[in-house]
Amino acid sequence: MADLDQLLRSDIAAAAADAARVPDFSPLERRGTRQRRVRSTGTAVVAAAIVVVIAATATQFVREDRGATPVTPTTPTPTTPSMPVNLTAEQIVDDPRSRAASIVIAPEDPRIRAVVWRLCLDDRCRRHREAVAVTDDGFRTRSTLVANAFPLYVGGGVFALQGRLGPPLLLHPDGHIVEVTGLQSEPGPPELPGEVIVSYGSGVLRWVAADPTTGRGHPVTVPENLRILRLSPGGRLAGETLGEGSYTWSDNSGATWSSTPLDNDPGLLVFAASRESEPIAVLEGGDGATLFPLGFVHRSTDGGQTFERLRLFDDPMAYGQNAGVLPDGRLLLNIEGWSDDEPGGEHARPIGLHVSNGNDWTDLRPVDGAAPYAEAQPDVVATKDGLLIVYGQEGKASTDGGQTWQDFKLR
């Protein structure tokens, strides 16, 4: 039996797509048209029935009113007010019921932020509306837009809107959107200073370097299997890849790339947030049995040239994925649960933010002061000022490793 990770990374979906029998479109179109007609007719019938029922009920009330029996007042049944569907971006962002679905903060200037606010339209949130709030002054001012896409900070003060088809779009903090052009030319390295690198497409990603102001771009060559590019405060691009475990980076905006293989076995890798001046941490997801078991951490103190592999947890195993390196070199990570937690019961030991005992990253202890937010998952961002820990729903952030918390505006 192949390893679970290998199986999950295999080409099952592609094989199914290849084997799919493609039906004629015309019968589907007719079916959809017929369903629309049936629905319209049904709606008309229901509306007519409602009119009849209302008329009958009204007649009945009239008759009762005419009788001598006094009517006992009844307590109205409380109902949930219906949620309007056509909401503006402002309404979605400002609704107190909306939740921060994604928080993106520019590493070089934490005042540049984009937050996706999600407002659920039913109890299980199967229907929801989303809007993006974006700012470059910490939400003293802002722009909002309804967008079925997630922003990703790509540098130059702009965000790429991810998760949509078509050409990539760049979102500026003043709310205007620039479409990237020039996607058909030959791939090459970035050509001009200030270009940002953006991925687009669903499934198979394509990469383009573009001028954030004009959107003028061109395809760009990146390391094979690159899935995510992370920008650090000093401008380093660090890439997470599928397949082989490695730390891949570029210090010249993608002109050239370096890569150091990591000795993982064959766990998944998640990059922790850190600045170039601090040790680099890459979390390794242990034995492949779960997504984010905090089995090992790979630490580099020479900018990614070499790594040492350290065991974090084994038995019991801790689970989590949000992590970063504090300015003093300590490892900070958020533990979401333990392997010996009772399902639906109390946690076997403390969860929430933990920090290493100095440079000994294998000795992790709970952070005092983070307890009020232990059940939530924080966003951990390396900024030019140090490590920023943000609890979006609570609107709180810490810049001292979770010791103290301040208000942090996200809309």
Partner 1 sequence: MTDTDAVHEAFEASYRRLVGQLYAVCGDLTEAEEVVAEAFARAVQHRRRFEQTDNPEAWLRTVAVNVSRTRHRRRLLGSRLERTEVRHPEIGDDRLALVTALRQLPAAQREAIALHYLADLPVHEVAAATGAPVGTVKARLSRGRQALALLLNDNNPEEARRG
**Residues forming the site for partner 1 (CB under 8 A):** 1-2, 4, 7-10, 12-23, 25, 28-29, 31-33, 35-36, 39, 99, 101-102, 118, 124-128, 147-150, 162-165, 202-203, 288-292, 319, 321, 336, 377
In 3D space, the residue among 321, 297, 322 whose CA is nearest the CA of residue 380 turns out to be 322
User: Shortest Cβ distance from residue 101 to partner 1 (Å)?
Assistant: 6
Q: In this structure, is the dihedral angle defined by the CA atoms of residues 366, 367, 373 and 378, taken in order, positive or negative?
A: negative
Largest pairwise CA distance in the chain = 93
Pairing of strands 323-325, 331-335: antiparallel
d(CA 166, CA 198): 13
User: Shortest Cβ distance from residue 41 to partner 1 (Å)?
Assistant: 13
**Which is nearer to partner 1, 277 or 393 (by Cβ)?**
393
User: Shortest Cβ distance from residue 105 to partner 1 (Å)?
Assistant: 16
Helix (H, G, I), strand (E, B) or coil at 241: strand
User: Shortest Cβ distance from residue 89 to partner 1 (Å)?
Assistant: 13
Q: At 393, which helix (H) or strand (E)? A: none
**Which is nearer to partner 1, 17 or 52 (by Cβ)?**
17
Environment class of residue 400 by beta-carbon count within 10 Å: exposed (0-12), middle (13-18) or buried (19+)?
Answer: middle
User: Shortest Cβ distance from residue 286 to partner 1 (Å)?
Assistant: 11
User: Shortest Cβ distance from residue 109 to partner 1 (Å)?
Assistant: 24
**Which is nearer to partner 1, 1 or 62 (by Cβ)?**
1
**Which is nearer to partner 1, 24 or 65 (by Cβ)?**
24
**Which is nearer to partner 1, 150 or 405 (by Cβ)?**
150
Contacts of 85 (CB under 8 A, 6+ apart): 121, 129
**Which is nearer to partner 1, 149 or 258 (by Cβ)?**
149
In 3D space, the residue among 284, 168, 162, 275 whose CA is nearest the CA of residue 219 turns out to be 168
